Structure 1
Amino acid sequence: MPPIPNQHVHTPRIITYYQTHHTPSSEEYPDGKHISILPLLQQPGISLTHVILAAIHINSSPSALTLNDHPPSHPRFTTLWAELRVLQASGIKVLGMLGGAAKGTFSRLDCPQGLSTESFEAYYAPLKNLITQRGLDGLDLDVEEPMSLAGIIHLIDRLKADFGEDFIITLAPVASALLDAKHNLSGFDYQALEVLRGGRIDWYNAQFYCGWGDCSNPVMYEMILLRGWKAEKVVVGLVTNPENGGGYVPWEGLGNVLPLLVGRHARFGGVMGWEYFNSLPGGRERPWEWARCMTGLVRGRRVVNEEEEGGQNGSGGMSETGNGKGTDMVEADADAEAGGGGGKEAPVPDSFEYFSDGATGED
C-alpha cells in the first residue's frame, strides 16, 4: 500500500503568464492563429498550478474594458475562454492580470481616502462583471503606476467582499520593491501593505528582471527573506525568453539557483514565467517545455533541515539539489542594495514588443 500523502507538505507554485494569444497576422490567418494553452495540460511531466491571463485594461471610458486591445467578448477570444475552462476543470487555477505597463488602470481605481467614489464604481463594475462571467479564480494586480496605499487596500477589500475569501489575490511588484520602497513602480510601500492586508494577499509575483532584480544567483531572494518576507509568499518571476525583457537567466544558471532555494526553504513560493508563447527551451514551436523543465527543477528531490519541516524559514543548508549537484549557499547581507547596484536607482524596464494582440510588454 502506498504511503498516505502528507497533507501539510508545501509544493512550489509553477505559474505562467498568458498574454500573447495569437501568432502574427498572415495571409492564411489575417487575425493571427490562436496559440493554444492546452499543451500545458496535455503534455507529460508538467505540474503547472496557475495560468495568469494578461492583460486586462481599464480605459478612459468605463464601458471600454479590454483584454489587451479587444473587448473580452470579442470572437477572437472564443477558443481562449473555452481552453481556460478546460484548464480549470483539470485543477489549474486561472487568474486575470489587471494593469501592467500600460498606464491608467489603477489611477482610475484609486481611492486615496480609502472610501468608494462614484468614479471607482463606474470603472470597477465592468471588471466585476468580467470576473463573474468568466469564472476567474483570482486577480493579479500588476500596479506599474503610482497608486495610494489606501487605494490598493480599498480594491483588495472590495474584491474579497464581492468574491469571497477564497478568491485569489496576488500582486506583481518588481523584486526590488520588496527590499526598498524607493525602488518601486507602484507608489505604495509593499511592506506596509503586507502588514495591513497580508492575510488577504495570497502571494507576490516578484519581477526578478528588467533591472529590478536578479536570479542568476540566490542572493536577492535571500535578502528579501531577511527583510521578513515569508518564503511561501514570494514567487520568483522570470522572463522565459530574452526577447521578453532584460535579465533572462539561462537554464544552466537556473539549474543551480532554483533547486538550491527549493531545498533551503521548505515553503519556497514557486516560480512564474513572463510569458508563455515563446518560452524557452522550446520557443514558439514548443512553449510548454518551459513548464516541463521548471517542474523538474522545483518539484524534484530536495533535502531540508528539520526546522523547516515545520514551515519556518530557517537558515539550514541543502545537501542535494534537484539536479543532483551540490551547491554552496551564498551569504546575503540584508542591508545590501538590490542587485548589487551600489545605491544607484534601478532603471525603468523597457517596453516589450510582441507580435500579436497589439500588446507591448504588459508585465
Structure 2
Amino acid sequence: MHIRRITAAIAAAAIPLTMTAAPAVAAPDNGGKANQPSAAAESAALPEHQLTGYWQNFVNNAEPLRVSDIPDNYDLVALAFAQSDATSPGAVKFSVDSQLSGALGGYSDAQLKADIAEKQSQGTDFVMSIGGAKGSLDLSTEQRVTNFVDSMTTIIENYGLDGLDIDLEHSFDTAGMTSAARQLRNHFGPDFMLTMAPQTLYVQPGGSYMQLIDNLSDIITTVHTQYYNSGSMLGCDQQVYSQGSVDFITAQACILLDKLSADQIALGLPAAPSAAGSGYVQPSVVTDALDCLASTTNCGQFVPGQPHPSISGVMTWSINWDVSNGTTFSTTVGNHLETLP
C-alpha cells in the first residue's frame, strides 16, 4: 500500500418539481457529529478540502487519458472500475482496458503503475472503485466476502493504491460489504481510505446506503453523493428540491450531517454537460453550495442551521470529461476549495 506523502504530513502539522421563490429558511441545527472532526478523515492525510475525480478505465466520448495526464487540481483519484471476476464468486479484477490502451497508442499495466507512483510522489492519492452504472457485486456469503477481500487486497498492493471507493449503484449485501470494508481496513491500517459515491435515493432516510454508512462511519474517509441523474428529493428540512440548484445539493448534504462529520461529506457533480444524463450545474453553483455549507453564505432557499467549515470538498464524474471540457470544472472548483475556511 502506498504510504502517505511527507508533504501531506507537514501540511497536517501546520495547521422534477419547480420551487417557487420563498424567503430563505434555516435548517434545524444538526446535533451529533456534524462539526466534530472524524478519526477516519484525520488518519487519511488528504488536504482539509479536496477535489476527487474518477479516471475512466474505458473508452466513451470523453477524452481518453493516461494517469500522467490527470490535471494537478485533483487530490484524490478513483480508478473506475474493478470488474467482477467470473472465475471466483465475489472476487474482482483490474487491468488497463484493451480499448483504452489502443486509444492511447499503447498503455500497459506497468506504465499505469509507474504513472500512479509518480502522481503519488506529487501528493495525489488513489483508490480503486467498484460498481458504477454497469457494475454489480454479490457479497451475500462468507466465501464471497473472502474472495472479494483477497482479490481487492492483491489489486491495492499490486498497484500501490491508498484504498477503496464503493460506487455500487444496484442492490448489494450490506452485511457483506461492511465485513469486507472492515477486513480491508484491518489489513492495511488506519491510513486506508474508504470512500463512497451513493446516488441520491440511497441516502434518503431508509436508503440502502444509510445502514452501510452507519456501520462504517468510524472508518469512512469521505461520502460524495452523486447530486445528478436524480429525480426530485427531500432535503433535511423535509422540503422537496429539484436537481440543478444550490438547494438540491445543500439540503441533501445536510441529511448526512446527522450521521457523519462535515469533514467526511463531499459533493458529487458532473464535470461537463455531457458527463451525466441530467443534473449538470455550472461550477459557480458548486462553489456557491460549498460556501453555503461552509459559512452559510451564497445559499438559496435552504440555509444550514450552522456553518460547517470543515466540509470535505467535491467529487466529479469524471476527470476525462473535465479535460474534454477544458478543465473548467477542476480549475474553478479546485481554486475555490483553497479559499474555504
Instruction: Give the structure-1-normalised TM-score.
Output: 0.65
Indicate how the Cα distance of structure 1 residues 122 and 153 shifts in structure 2: closer, same or farther if over 3 A, else same: closer
For 2:294 and 2:75, locate their aligned partners in 1 and report how far apart those are by CA, in whole Å. Answer: 16
* Partner in structure 2 of residue 243 of structure 1: 274
Say what the alpha-carbon RMSD is for the aligned residues: 3.3
Q: 1:225 aligns with which of 232, 254, 257?
A: 254
For 1:271 and 1:88, locate their aligned partners in 2 and report how far apart those are by CA, in whole Å. Answer: 19
Alpha-carbon offset, residue 11 of structure 1: 2.4
Q: 1:13 aligns with which of 28, 50, 65?
A: 50
* Partner in structure 2 of residue 156 of structure 1: 181
* Stretches (4+) displaced over 6 A: 21-24, 71-74
Q: 1:65 aligns with which of 93, 117, 130?
A: 93
- Alignment gaps of 5+ in structure 1: 25-31, 183-187, 303-363
Q: RCO greater where, 1 or 2, for CA within 8 Å and sep 6 or more?
A: 2
Letter in 2 for 1:53: L
For 1:143 and 1:83, locate their aligned partners in 2 and report how far apart those are by CA, in whole Å. Answer: 26
For 1:39 and 1:145, locate their aligned partners in 2 and report how far apart those are by CA, in whole Å. Answer: 29
Judge conservation of contact 2:165–2:196 (CA < 8 Å) in 1.
Answer: yes
Instruction: Give the structure-2-normalised TM-score.
Output: 0.68
- How big is each residue's C-alpha offset from its partner over 1:102-122, in whole Å with a ceiling of 9 and x where there is no partner? 233x21x333xxxx32x4434
* Partner in structure 2 of residue 197 of structure 1: 216
Q: 1:143 aligns with which of 168, 180, 203?
A: 168
Alpha-carbon offset, residue 92 of structure 1: 1.2
For 1:95 and 1:253, locate their aligned partners in 2 and report how far apart those are by CA, in whole Å. Answer: 27
Indicate how the Cα distance of structure 1 residues 180 and 36 shifts in structure 2: closer, same or farther if over 3 A, else same: same
Relative to structure 2, which stretch is displaced further, 206-215 or 143-152?
206-215
SS at match of 1:254: helix
Aligned pairs for 1:204-215 (under 5 A) are 204-211=223-230, 214=243
For 1:283 and 1:33, locate their aligned partners in 2 and report how far apart those are by CA, in whole Å. Answer: 9
Relative to structure 2, which stretch is displaced further, 236-245 or 207-216?
207-216
Alpha-carbon offset, residue 144 of structure 1: 1.6
Letter in 1 for 2:263: E
Tell me which structure has the larger Cα radius of gyration: 1
For 2:164 and 2:54, locate their aligned partners in 1 and report how far apart those are by CA, in whole Å. Answer: 12
Judge conservation of contact 1:96–1:138 (CA < 8 Å) in 2.
Answer: yes
- Alignment gaps of 5+ in structure 2: 1-11, 16-36, 234-242, 297-307
- How big is each residue's C-alpha offset from its partner over 1:200-255, in whole Å with a ceiling of 9 and x where there is no partner? 21121211110157352135433442561432222100111121211100234334
- How big is each residue's C-alpha offset from its partner over 1:109-162, in whole Å with a ceiling of 9 and x where there is no partner? 333xxxx32x44344433221111111101101112212221111111111122
SS at match of 1:200: coil
Letter in 2 for 1:208: Y
SS at match of 2:218: helix
- How big is each residue's C-alpha offset from its partner over 1:280-301, in whole Å with a ceiling of 9 and x where there is no partner? xx635x44x4322112222225
Q: How many residues align?
A: 270
* Partner in structure 1 of residue 312 of structure 2: 269
Judge conservation of contact 1:23–1:34 (CA < 8 Å) in 2.
Answer: no
For 1:258 and 1:146, locate their aligned partners in 2 and report how far apart those are by CA, in whole Å. Answer: 30
* Partner in structure 2 of residue 300 of structure 1: 339
1:55 aligns with 2:81: yes
For 1:215 and 1:5, locate their aligned partners in 2 and report how far apart those are by CA, in whole Å. Answer: 38
For 2:175 and 2:250, locate their aligned partners in 1 and report how far apart those are by CA, in whole Å. Answer: 28
Alpha-carbon offset, residue 36 of structure 1: 4.8
Q: 2:206 aligns with which of 173, 181, 189?
A: 181
SS at match of 1:218: helix
Letter in 1 for 2:165: D
Letter in 2 for 1:222: A
- Percent identity between matched residues is 20
Alpha-carbon offset, residue 37 of structure 1: 3.9
* Partner in structure 2 of residue 283 of structure 1: 324
Judge conservation of contact 1:36–1:80 (CA < 8 Å) in 2.
Answer: yes
Indicate how the Cα distance of structure 1 residues 290 and 251 shifts in structure 2: closer, same or farther if over 3 A, else same: closer
Judge conservation of contact 2:249–2:289 (CA < 8 Å) in 1.
Answer: no
